[in-house]
Amino acid sequence: MAIVTFTENIQRLIECPPMSVDGQSLHDVLENVFNNNPNARSYILDDQGQVRKHINIFINDQAAKDRKTLTDKIQSEDNIYIMQALSGG
């Protein structure tokens, strides 16, 4: 099972402790997370099901490539990190 971890700044807004979930794609994994934590869905995905602009998702040490349909492949030993994107200068 992949381990999904939300950063502390997201956890201050919505309760989302780390969890182990099954799934062969990022979409599958996130759906399993949202089945257990429906409040997280609207914070992470927009109304088209795409990753919101203020959210970054990393699979191990690589940014998720497909932010629209979430087709990145997931292995059972992967660590998925969900965090707020930072901007500014």
CA within 13 Å, CB half, 5: 10
CA triple 30-34-37, angle to 5 deg: 135
* Strand 2-6 versus strand 79-84 pairing type: parallel
pLDDT in single tens digits along all 89 residues of the chain: 999 999 998 998 899 999 999 999 999 999 999 999 999 999 999 999 999 999 999 999 999 999 999 999 999 999 999 999 876 66
Q: How is the chain split into domains, by residue range?
A: 2-84
CATH number belonging to domain 2-84: 3.10.20.30
Phi, psi dihedral angles at 11 (to 5 degrees): -65, -20
In angstroms, rounded to a whole number, what is the distance separating the alpha carbons of residues 30 and 46? Answer: 13
Tokens 């990753």 locate to 51
Among the listed residues 74, 82, 62, the one whose alpha carbon sits nearest the alpha carbon of residue 27:
74
pTM of the model: 0.91
